[in-house]
Amino acid sequence: MQTMGKIARVLPANPEKVLKAKNQLLSDFSDLVTDAEQLLASTAEYSGDTIAGARSKFKGSLDHFKTRVSEAQTSAINQFESAAAATQQYAHDNPWKVAGIAALAGVLLSALLTNSRR
């Protein structure tokens, strides 16, 4: 049962919503980074210490942001791999429990679908 606890801790309650939110977040981050890089490129022709300082500070912030997003992505991948390994180990250690749970889920789904048609 220790493996089930590990699985429950790493798996989200609703993986489809998490996946959709992750994809949207990555898309938004990508757009932000692209827009920021375009802004930096478009202000390159302007001169002055104030603009140069602001550009430098913004570039540093953008680089830091990219690093943080990369670290978050790596962490998410590691958690997914950990959950997959724990699930695989549990299924390997307890094949009859997994088969029983799958059969029970099938019976419940069948009962729900049968009752909803009446």
What's the pTM? 0.48
Half-sphere exposure of 79 (CA within 13 A, CB side): 12
Which phi and psi (to 5°) does residue 52 adopt?
A: -60, -40
Number of CB atoms found within 10 A of residue 86's CB: 20
5-9, 17-21, 23-27: which has the minimum mean pLDDT?
Answer: 5-9
Q: Give the model confidence (pLDDT) of 55-79 as tens digits.
A: 787 788 788 888 887 888 888 888 8
Q: Give the model confidence (pLDDT) of 33-47 as tens digits.
A: 787 888 777 777 777
The domain segmentation of the chain, as residue ranges, is: 2-116
Which amino acid type is present at position 18?
V
